[in-house]
Structure 1
Amino acid sequence: MVRCGCVLLRKYGNFIDNVRIFTKGGSGGMGYPRLGGEGGKGGDVWVVAQKNMTLKQLKNKYPQKRFAAGGGANSRVSALKGSKGKDCEIPVPVGISVTDENGKVIGELNKEEDRILVAKGGLGGKLHTNFLPLKGQKRVIHLDLKVIADVGLVGFPNAGKSSLLSRVSHARPAIADYAFTTLRPELGKIMYNDFKQISVADLPGLIEGAHMNKGMGHKFLKHLERTKQLLFVIDISGFQLSSVTPYRTAFETIILLMKELELYKEELQAKPALLAVNKMDLPDAHVKLHELMNQLQSPEDFLHLFEKNMIPEKAVEFQHVIPVSTVTGEGIEELKKCVRKALDEQDDRENDAHHREQLLNLQIPSTAS
């Protein structure tokens, strides 16, 4: 019998992105000393990626708090080699990273039907075990969901990320005129006339100190790790979280976002990035855009205005800067073109690098001979 469930979970909104569970491989079967029979091996516990699965469904379906595989069959006169115990499969969504209690990554499930062995069954009793069976492996693991998308939206709350997602795709995220409307990742797809599709993830808004897990913190940042590119979305008029926090200009917003990415994981800064300057329908937006473009072209002339700990070691270079308005639709089609162009160029670079690597591998044997 498979007994399963979850011990601890973290959630925001109604969305669960991390589950801690107990797993146990099945015990082996007894050997048969008089006839030299071997007991069956205990079943194994596997984590398996399935389509349309969520961690919330996992929690609801298995409330018993453990996953245990079946025990191996004992050796007997009619079957000297006992049969293997039944494996236990834990169904999880695509995009799961599996770690142990110490945070060591056991493996990742990036596509449907990917599977990872997390708890081995015990050996059945045989001669070198004095015909006594071994117990299965016990292991506590963490299932951590990281959204997989082509493009991840990066911005402070109320920058208009959800509105932008609804404009460029068929997604219908919750939208309101206040901070933290987005409480869980929302996925949409940009559809092109030639049937090309690009997936876009709108994630909970950052605040200053997100790298230290303030606000949505790591719940937001970890989902950027599996996106191919970043699309920064900023409000041209700047941002202020509340009356007791400092007002930040559009340029300051960009610098702070870059710093948060750097402090969380430097590899995020290496991802190709675009910048959508939103709310261009506001008064004086074009004057502010002109000022912002000057600041982006010569950022070193303005960084002295920041405290030293706010300045990123390496600034993100934007492939395209696109002024947009999710209210009037200004720049939306241009943004969609730029997103596709950037991804196509990235794919071409990766294919060229892969081709060069294959050629190099073919040349190595002939050189050695």
Structure 2
Amino acid sequence: MTRARSVGKAFIDSIRIRVKAGCGGHGLRKYGGIGGNGGDVCLEAGKFTGLNSFLSVYPHKNICAESGKDSKKGCILGVKGEDKTVKVPVGITVYDENNKKIGELNEIGEKLIVAKGGGGGSPATQFTGMLGEEKIITLDLKLIADVGLVGFPNAGKSTLLKSISRADPKIASYPFTTLKPNLGVLKYDDLRQITMADLPGLIEGASMNIGMGHKFLKHVERTSVLLMVVDIDGFQYAPHLPHRSCIETIILLNKELELYDKMLLKKPILLAINKMDKTGAQDKLQDVLSNLGNLKSYVEENIDLDLRPETLLKFNNVVPISARYNKDSVFELKDAVRSVLDEDYFKKSKGSLKQKAENLMRELDKKSVEVGKLYT
């Protein structure tokens, strides 16, 4: 199998921009002329790969539409100002200055007016053109990727992404080396490509927005498959905090995902148990697999009530790996990722075809009833 190309380094996932719609043109009182309306500022989902690309086109982050033309003796109806349509990446959510959601753009071609042009001068306004809307808005990008890596810091997610693709994330032996998502593309011999995102490491309480948890977790919403990466030796965030074993780490990640959004637990999910090159890893792996096989009992007997997930994850596949030292295990995981993605795509396609068939049958039944009424 060939390795992947890089899609670029860490990217910007949220920016604030100023948008100003056009003012309305003045009317002409003497002749009852109406001024032209100001142009709107509109966002349209396009083929930008990210907000970095957006900023390369609009580095000053000021977007203005054209004002409407005044009414004149030779042109009683003022010409409307030209709208300003701005291309943004698919997956954008727009918020106002009070963090109130304005709308989303999830499909190419979708449009959203974010600043409305002022009305042209008319008798109702004493022929004075009205000001267009001006505001500061936030463009928040939810990452779109086939696979999202989820885990606590220092689990080896960045090492895995580098090993399985040609992405070049920062790697070190201390937590939080990944501060923003990194993207890699897995390429297969039959030219199939799968995008994988290394999301920043979570901490306990991420679902409550501790450690910028919401900023990190938002990206898993738009991934098709989750890949949970855990250290066979578990994880300890800080010396004064308890050490979590591998199985406890899995359960806590389960809980964080559930608290953020229960729908995430319905996504296909794989488990990669990393750092299998460590001494005693095989014995620990057997314990983990045994506990996963009877996870409900383990949780009831060993996990505090406030840390127990209501719904336990069911992994599509569990793959032990050494991202740093065992390339064969990484390739095995790469094949497993594709298998789960293909299975998920088949199920969704089958469901979509079934829905289309049901809709068609309903339309035919409706038309049959309408035709029948003509002859009764």
Above 0.5 in TM-score?
A: yes
Secondary structure of the residue aligned to 2:138 is strand
Q: Shift in Å at residue 359 of structure 1?
A: 1.3
Rounded Cα–Cα distance in structure 2 between residues aligned with 1:62 and 1:170: 29
Query: How many residue pairs get matched?
Result: 356
Taking the aligned partners of 1:276 and 1:237, their CA distance within structure 2 comes to: 13
Report 1:8-27 matches (<5 A). 16-27=12-23
The root-mean-square deviation of aligned C-alpha atoms, in Å, is: 2.4
Match of residue 359, structure 2, among 335, 356, 361: 361
Match of 2:249 in 1: 253
* CA contact 1:278–1:323 (8 Å) conserved in 2: yes
Shift of 1:23: 2.9
Structure 2 counterpart of 1:321: 318
> Which residue is equivalent to 1:307?
304
Structure 2 SS opposite 1:29: coil
Quick check: 1:53–1:91 contact (8 Å CA) kept in 2?
A: no
- Please state how far the C-alpha of 1:39 moved relative to its aligned partner: 1.4
Q: Report the 3-state secondary structure (helix = DSSP H, G, I; strand = E; otherwise coil) of the residue aligned with 2:332.
A: helix
Q: Report if the CA contact (8 A) 1:50-1:113 is conserved.
A: no
Per-residue CA deviations over 1:77-135 (Å, capped at 9, x if unaligned) read 22222222233344544432112345443332345665421111122234565544333
> Per-residue deviation at 1:66?
5.1
Distance, in Å, in 2 between the alignment partners of 1:150 and 1:107 is 24
Write the letter of the residue equivalent to 1:272.
P
User: Does residue 54 of structure 1 match 2:42?
Assistant: no
Alignment pair present for 1:270 and 2:266: yes
Give 1:336's aligned amino acid: K
2:341 to 340, 343, 359: 343
Tell me, yes or no, if the aligned pair for 1:235 and 1:279 is still in contact at 8 Å.
yes
Q: 1:187 to 1:29 in 2, by over 3 A?
A: same
- 1:331 — aligned with what? 329
Return the TM-score normalized by structure 1: 0.89
Whether the 8 Å contact between 1:28 and 1:133 is mirrored in structure 2 is yes
CA distance in 2, matches of 1:16, 1:43: 29
* 1:334 partner amino acid: E
Check the 8 A contact 1:55/1:93 in 2, yes or no: no
Distance 1:131 1:37 in 2: 8
Identical-pair percentage: 47
Q: 1:29-74 deviations in whole A, cap 9, x for unaligned?
A: 12234434331110111224452552597399554x7544221000
User: Partners in 1 of 2:171 and 2:125 — Cα distance?
Assistant: 64
Look up the match of 2:4: none
2:173 maps to which residue? 177
Contact 1:58/1:91 (8 A) holds in 2: no
Selected match of 1:77 from 73, 78, 87 = 73
Residue in structure 2 matched with residue 10 of structure 1 by the alignment: none
- Cα offset for 1:215? 1.9
Mean CA deviation greater in 260-269 or 81-90: 81-90
SS at match of 2:327: coil
- More contact order relative to length (CA 8 Å, sep ≥ 6): 2
Q: Which amino acid is 2:230 matched to?
A: I
Q: Which amino acid aligns with 1:75?
A: S
Letter in 1 for 2:302: L
User: Residue 11 of structure 2 contacts residue 182 of structure 2 at CA under 8 Å; is this kept in 1?
Assistant: no
SS state of the match for residue 31, structure 2? coil
**For residues 214-293 of structure 1, what are the structure 2 equivalents within 5 Å?**
214-293=210-289
Alignment of 1:136-215 (within 5 A): 136-215=132-211
Give the Cα–Cα distance (whole angstroms) in 1 for the partners of residues 231 and 217 of structure 2: 20
Say if 1:15 and 1:194 are closer, same or farther in 2 by CA, change over 3 A. closer
Unaligned runs of 5+ in 2: 1-8, 370-376
Which TM-score applies when normalising by structure 2? 0.87
- 1:198 Cα deviation after fit: 0.4
Stretch deviating more after TM superposition (36-45 or 120-129): 120-129
- 1:119-159 C-alpha deviation (Å, 9 max, x unpaired): 11122234565544333234443211211100000001110
Inter-partner Cα distance in structure 2 for 1:100 and 1:113? 22
Counterpart Cα distance in 2 of 1:266 and 1:44: 38
